[in-house]
Amino acid sequence: MERAQLLEEIKSLMGEYMHDEDKSKLANITDDTDFVNDLNMDSIDMVDVVIKAENKFGIEIKNETIAKLNTVGKCLDVMQERLAEKGL
């Protein structure tokens, strides 16, 4: 899956956990965007987004890896690796 397409999917999932006043920030996301500091998401929201992505794409990301995914770019990198392992 191409990175841009994956980003759009993740942005959609993140929007489900963001406060309405923060959703406008989704338009300006870069690889360096921090989930907590830039998007006002807490760690539980981030875990929920990753779990939804795992279910949607049929991938698995270990909990210790999820804990290190503080930016959008890191999250996309790991998801692309898992998708590539599945041949997607």
pLDDT score, position 17: 87
| Whole-model pTM over 0.85 | yes
pLDDT at residue 78 above 90? yes
Residue 41's CATH number: 1.10.1200.10
pLDDT of residue 1: 82
Determine the structural domain holding residue 25 and report its residue range: 3-85
In tens, the pLDDT along 33-56 reads: 999 999 988 888 888 999 999 999
- Encode pLDDT of 5-34 as tens digits: 999 999 999 999 888 888 899 999 999 999
48 contact partners, CB below 8 Å, separation of at least 6? 17
Number of structural domains (the chain) is 1
Residue 12's pLDDT is 93
